[in-house]
Amino acid sequence: MTAEPGRDTGADGQDAHRVAAEALDAVRAAADAAQLEAVRALYLGRGDGRLTVFRRGLGKLADADARRALGQTVNTLTERVSDAIDERRAELEVAARAQQDATEALDLTWPPRPLRRGRLNPVTLAAREIRRIFGQIGYIAVAGPEVEYDRYNFTLVNQPPGHPARDAHDTFYVDDSRLLRTHTSPVQIRSMLVRGAPQRVIVPGKAYRRDYDASHLPMFHQVEGLCIDEGIAVSDLKGTLEFFVRSFFAADARVRWRPHNFPFTEPSLELELACVSCDGSGCTLCKHSGWLELLGCGMVHPAVLRNGGIDPERYSGFAFGMGIERAAMLAYDISDMRLLYENDVRFLRPVS
Ligand code: DAH
């Protein structure tokens, strides 16, 4: 009794029992689901499984009792092997899960990853600080549109069509009558028309010019200031802006005033700050002059007051305009304006 039990050998129940015993050993020895499946195919496979083939031999048995007896034996053995396979499969699954639990378990004693916090851009920080400082002396912050009428951006602040100062602003035009505002000064007119006199406002916001290098960006921020009341004089302008400079830069910051020319102010001044790097002795930042231009300002031109619906006989005022990027760079010691907009978190981290 060798080779293929049940085929040529006149298979009997004994052979079937022997094959089944082998099958049960193989089931117990299967180490994982794949081996177990191979054992199942080997013994119970449809057609030629080692146990299955005993059924084929049944037809050859002439004796009906012997046929029934062998049939029952094969059925019972098949069932036993099949049950053993199911049991073994369940056992292997439990073991696999235990193994997985052991290797993938969460270790709750591990320290957490450090929390990464966002930081504000220096321009935002500076704008907030500017609002806070002017807020202390009664200024409210207001806004105006970035897509502005040519009329508000230029004409009503004393730069009618053909005025040479218009050329100094490399303007992005939207159509014949509208543009991206080149400064925050048009909001002076809007604020006068809305609030009348007296009023004290600052206008932090974006402005646009066709410019791009280490100290000019096509989009930048300015803050406009406007103070209108009866009897406002140049001394109010100076006192206000010196207060601002000492609050924003340093309590002992020094300034000087130089005559200038803007179409919308008369007289016009420029505020210069003693160099934040060399304190006036001369360095590359101040181009060896000892001073840094910080902002333009002046007494609001009577024609501009009139364009804003305010009587220049009764009221006077001062205005100023400052680049926020520049103020932030000087206050926080940033050398290249483009750094402000490159979104490099390593640059943002040390500030604030
Ligand atoms: N609008 C000017 C500019 O963008 C800045 C400026 C200067 C605004 C003097 C003022 C001012 O209100 O009085 O260059």
In a domain, 229, yes or no: yes
Cα–Cα distances (Å) from 110 to 106, 107, 115, 226, in that order, read 9, 6, 15, 57
Q: What is the pLDDT of residue 209?
A: 94
Q: Rg of the Cα trace of the chain?
A: 45
Tell the residue number behind the tokens 């003693």, with chain if given.
274
- According to DSSP, the β-strands at 291-300 and 316-323 are antiparallel
In total, how many domains does the chain have?
2
Three-state DSSP class for 56? helix
171 Cβ below 6 A of ligand 1: no
320 Cβ below 6 A of ligand 1: yes
Task: Specify whether 227 is located in the same domain as 97.
Answer: no
Nearest to 291 by CA among 248, 266, 329, 257: 257
* Residue 9 token pair: 């050998």
Q: What is the pLDDT of residue 352?
A: 44
CA 18 to chain centre: 72
Please report the atom of ligand 1 found closest to the CA of residue 265.
13
Would you say residue 10 has pLDDT above 80? no
220 Cβ below 6 A of ligand 1: no
Task: Specify whether 200 is located in the same domain as 55.
Answer: no
Would you say residue 351 has pLDDT above 70? no
- E strands present in 29-164: 140-141, 147-149
Task: Specify whether 198 is located in the same domain as 86.
Answer: no
Average pLDDT, integer, range 179-206 = 98
Task: Specify whether 79 is located in the same domain as 130.
Answer: no
Task: Specify whether 98 is located in the same domain as 128.
Answer: no
Please report the atom of ligand 1 found closest to the CA of residue 260.
9
Expressed as residue numbers, the domain containing 33 is 16-103
pLDDT digits (tens, 9 = 90+) for 226-257: 999 999 999 999 999 999 999 999 999 999 99
Q: How far is the CA of 214 from the centre of ligand 1 (A)?
A: 21
Residue to substitute in 139, 166, 167, 183 for testing ligand 1 pocket (most ligand atoms within 8 angstroms of CB): 183
In a domain, 9, yes or no: no
Would you say residue 11 has pLDDT above 70? no
> What is the largest distance, in Å, between two alpha-carbon atoms of the chain?
134
- Looking up residue 273, the CATH number of its domain turns out to be 3.30.930.10
296 Cβ below 6 A of ligand 1: yes
Enter the pTM of the model.
0.70
* Residue identifier of the C-alpha nearest atom 5 of ligand 1: 321
**What whole-number distance in Å separates Cα of residue 321 and Cα of residue 297?**
6
In a domain, 8, yes or no: no
Q: What is the pLDDT of residue 266?
A: 98
185 Cβ below 6 A of ligand 1: yes
**What whole-number distance in Å separates Cα of residue 320 and Cα of residue 306?**
18
Average pLDDT, integer, range 283-294 = 93
Please report the atom of ligand 1 found closest to the CA of residue 224.
12
Phi-psi region of 323 (alpha: psi -120 to 50; beta: other; left: phi over 0): beta
262 Cβ below 6 A of ligand 1: yes
Residue to substitute in 262, 305, 322 for testing ligand 1 pocket (most ligand atoms within 8 angstroms of CB): 262
265 Cβ below 6 A of ligand 1: yes
Burial of 25 (0-12, 13-18, 19+ CB in 10 A): exposed
Would you say residue 118 has pLDDT above 90? no
- Tell me the pLDDT of the chain averaged across its residues: 91
Beta bridge partners of 203: 224
Q: What is the pLDDT of residue 350?
A: 58
Q: How far is the CA of 38 from the centre of ligand 1 (A)?
A: 87
Task: Return the axis-axis angle of helices 234-248 and 122-136, rounded to nearest 10°.
Answer: 130
Q: How far is the CA of 319 from the centre of ligand 1 (A)?
A: 8
* Residue identifier of the C-alpha nearest atom 12 of ligand 1: 320
Task: Specify whether 296 is located in the same domain as 181.
Answer: yes
Task: Specify whether 257 is located in the same domain as 164.
Answer: yes
Please report the atom of ligand 1 found closest to the CA of residue 188.
12
Q: What is the pLDDT of residue 7?
A: 43
**What whole-number distance in Å separates Cα of residue 34 and Cα of residue 242?**
84
Task: Specify whether 59 is located in the same domain as 175.
Answer: no
Contact assessment for residue 180 and residue 174, using Cβ atoms and an 8 Å cutoff: yes
Task: Specify whether 152 is located in the same domain as 93.
Answer: no
* Residue 201 token pair: 């406002």
321 Cβ below 6 A of ligand 1: yes
pLDDT digits (tens, 9 = 90+) for 291-319: 999 999 999 999 999 999 999 999 999 99
